[in-house]
Structure 1
């Protein structure tokens, strides 16, 4: 019985520690999102999380370690959006281009509402960090892979090279993310839809264009 009680106590402590860690990650994300990495303080993060500085340091030895944890959590959110976390490939015959449209809508929606994902992307471009993250690079890699497959499956116009389209999509989506720091309308569904309405006719053969929804199909809603 004593052994069982100790095991239960240990599980309770582990669950409490896990909850504290998750609270600290979210509080760090909100603080980085509000103040920026270089200005954000550990005191502000611990205060927002409702824990002591000692408890924060028990889980994370430095602000850099917290930033890495935020990026790891943001990456899991990105993988869920793209379907990589579940190996969620589109069914045979489904459009890779439409998948890309849907995911960009889902990403924009998630960036509007999720401070962890938003902070993770911002931290990827934070030059003051000794080891900037790679969330934006992971996004570029997924876009590139998706468009290469679309090209292989005949979904793109012959003159629409996948590499050129990757540049346009990544530049636009990362640009929307950066501009939305001051004006959230850059991440609105309307903005993303207008972008795809401009791009799709230059990207998709005419006989496939009617089957593409620039406004998305909600398959990758946040």
Structure 2
């Protein structure tokens, strides 16, 4: 195997092993010796790629952020209204968290590990929710009198709670849980004519099958 390819594979193995350790033990309790052993590399090889635990955590968080942003971007389909894009984005991000230990660890590290300037992943999600709800307001999708900033804070609080609870019980991050949340919320904020066209479920998972709108 060429040296460069071997180095890339070693780095990837270390990132995955670090993510598993950070998810299981948290930043403070995770040990570099355990990470190197889990990745099947020597401590020297670990330190060649990462100078410190903080550097390793930063890489895991950056990898998670890139993956989650990519999922969010893919959910922004042209010709789809802002409320549907918000629902789709939440499902896309939850799906990534369910299936990707690096995403889960990075999201957790966002509020645990030492970090530089810039928003946390939680704050990025908050910004995304606020932008899409502001667009929904501009598109006249919301029931008159709906305070979209207040609704946004509620969505962020609820979905952040799902992520936290999902660390102990994966059912909290399931498509069924998120669908039930949107079925409960959307009728209280969307105009009737908007509601009839909205789908609260995970459209990516159900693609090609008949979907049941809310209203």
TM-score, normalisation: structure 1: 0.86
Find the residue that maps to 1:37 and give its secondary structure. helix
Specify which of 158, 162, 171 is matched with residue 148 of structure 2: 162
| 2:15 paired with 1:21 | no
Please give the residue correspondences for 1:47-196 in structure 2 after superposition, counting only pairs within 5 Å: 47-83=37-73, 89-92=76-79, 94-126=80-112, 129-131=113-115, 134-196=120-182
Find the residue that maps to 1:218 and give its secondary structure. coil
1:209 Cα offset (Å): 0.7
- Structure ranking higher on relative contact order (CA contacts 8 Å, 6+ apart): 1
Task: Assess if the C-alpha contact under 8 Å between 1:98 and 1:216 holds in 2.
Answer: no
Find the residue that maps to 2:27 and give its secondary structure. coil
Structure 2: distance between partners of 1:89 and 1:200 = 19
Q: Runs of 4 or more off by more than 6 Å in structure 1?
A: none
Q: Deviations over 1:71-117 (max 9, x none)?
A: 1100111111111xx7x74313x211111111111222221221000
Residues paired across the two proteins, number: 205
Task: Assess if the C-alpha contact under 8 Å between 1:106 and 1:220 holds in 2.
Answer: no
1:57 Cα offset (Å): 0.3
Q: Which has the larger radius of gyration?
A: 1
Task: Assess if the C-alpha contact under 8 Å between 1:103 and 1:220 holds in 2.
Answer: no
1:29 Cα offset (Å): 0.4
Q: Deviations over 1:41-70 (max 9, x none)?
A: 001111111110000000101110000000
Task: Assess if the C-alpha contact under 8 Å between 1:90 and 1:96 holds in 2.
Answer: no
Structure 2: distance between partners of 1:220 and 1:14 = 40
1:220 Cα offset (Å): 10
